[in-house]
Amino acid sequence: MLSVLRGSRERLRHLWEQMRASALFVPGLLILGAAIMAFVLLAIDRDAEREVIDFIPWLFTGGPDGAQQVLSTIAGSMVTLAGVTFSIITVALSLASQQFGPRLLRNFATDVINQAMLGAFIASFVYCLLVLREVRALDDDTFVPYLSVTAGVLIALATLVLFVYFIHHVIDSIQGSSIIARSAHEAMATIDSLFPEPAGVPADSEGDGQRQAELPEIAEAAVLRAHRSGYIQAINSEKLIRTARSADVIFRMELPVGAFVAEGTPLLTVGPETRVDDDLSDAALDTVSIGRHRSMPLDPEFGVRQLVDIAVRALSPGVNDPTTAVYCIDYLAAILVHLAHRTIPTNLRLDDDGDLRLIAAGTTFEGMADLAFNQIRQYSKTDVATTFRMLEMIGTVGRETRTDHQRHVLDRHLRKIARGADEGITDPADRLEFNERLIEAAGKIGRPETAERYRLSSRTGAKGATG
């Protein structure tokens, strides 16, 4: 039962992410709510007529012509504000794409405030139209929905207040620090959802919990190939385990969530082949969601990828903004610390009877660290501030690591940074300061010998940072 609930939660989380990414979901809900509100208030107005004025004295008290003019004015204003809001969002998307990269567009597309503001203006327009059509000024048939018109005025006032807040929100959301922080927090939230408690085979004390295993000895194994090209957005591992148990087979994921798969290439391996049929293949492939874009809820590496892209773009000669790169490094350190505090299960997934059913391909500390360090290190060899901050990053993460394997990963990147600094840092004073920071970082990960072996000489190109 618990596995079924976990599988359902994964599907719901993936579905919710798809709805969040849609620009129609929140506006659609608001428009539907406005329509329901209009019908309900009109029904109250029909029953109460002018009696409602005596009960609520501050309601609209004008005639049908006045009601039509008020509603028409509000409807026209809401359409104008909707156009202005759309233009502001478009400009913000364009600026974010140029400055921080196209992958950040998803953050703005899924921003609830942006969606809500656009939906609020359209919903207000729809509400006014639905109420306006009920206002009648005939001699024998006059109807003024006093309560509904008053509600329209209140809605207009509320949307104006929200519009002022929307301007503030856009100004804040296009700042580099806000974009970086949001990507980092989403990545950490994904880590929390993926690794809330230990699962599967207990983690290795000497590894980062993702012990890679090969398929057990099977005479023959079948390969299940992808039916379409795209990025793996989600894998319902619980359902895949139930499918494997019912057919008494073992599955192995060939690619993790976030990886790109080409149509016709291996996606899953299953054995023994004698138990594989079309129904089993279809059921297994249905557990994998493939789309055109990467999706954050089950892919924390996507958040790291976004931060690395921002940092690399900031370090390019055309931008030359090392401060933004430093911000990215700070939050990358926070993500790695967050991951180091979690218990990552091995890639061996068992069923309720304790039998091996799935060999997963998932997030590892080593993979996340490689993604966080490699490109930034390659692009920042000559940037002293960024290089120094990476050393601090290693020290920050190193103090929170719990296994020798994690410290070995950090030590490997520390050596690479030292070799790159030996090539890129030319000033003797900077090289001396680098050595001091190198000693500090190496001490925090328990590798003082690295600082001794890879320290820089006072002259570029002299013996130092070798090995």
Instruction: Tell me the per-residue pLDDT of 76-105, one tens digit each, with 9 for 90 and over.
Output: 998 888 888 888 877 777 776 676 766 666
CB 27 within 8 A of CB 122: yes
The token duo for 399 is 């103090």
CB count in 10 Å sphere of residue 131: 27
Separation CA 63–CA 387 (nearest Å): 72
Beta pairing partners, 271: 250
* Distance from chain centroid for Cα 8: 20
The residue assigned the tokens 């109420």 is 131
Instruction: Show Cβ contacts of residue 382 under 8 Å, excluding neighbours closer than 6 positions.
Output: 424, 425
CB 202 within 8 A of CB 254: no
Q: Is the pLDDT of residue 64 over 60?
A: yes
Q: Is the pLDDT of residue 59 over 80?
A: no
Closest by CA to 376, choosing from 425, 428, 329, is: 329
**Where do the domains of the chain lie?**
2-174, 222-291
* Distance from chain centroid for Cα 12: 16
Q: What is the mean pLDDT of the chain?
A: 82
Give start and end residues of each alpha helix (H) in 49-145.
51-55, 64-100, 105-109, 112-132
Task: Tell me the per-residue pLDDT of 296-306, one tens digit each, with 9 for 90 and over.
Answer: 777 889 889 98
End-to-end CA distance of the chain: 54
CB 368 within 8 A of CB 410: no
| Average pLDDT over every residue of 257-284 | 89
Closest by CA to 159, choosing from 205, 198, 128, 191, is: 128
Task: Tell me the per-residue pLDDT of 206-262, one tens digit each, with 9 for 90 and over.
Answer: 445 444 444 454 557 888 999 999 999 888 888 899 999 999 888 988 888 889 999
pTM for the model stands at 0.77
CB 279 within 8 A of CB 256: no
Beta pairing partners, 143: 136
CATH assignment, 222-291: 3.90.1170.30
The token duo for 332 is 């990358």
The token duo for 241 is 């385990």
DSSP conformational letter for 426: -
pLDDT score of 330: 95
CB 81 within 8 A of CB 121: yes
Task: Tell me the per-residue pLDDT of 133-181, one tens digit each, with 9 for 90 and over.
Answer: 888 766 566 788 888 888 999 999 999 998 888 888 888 877 778 888 8
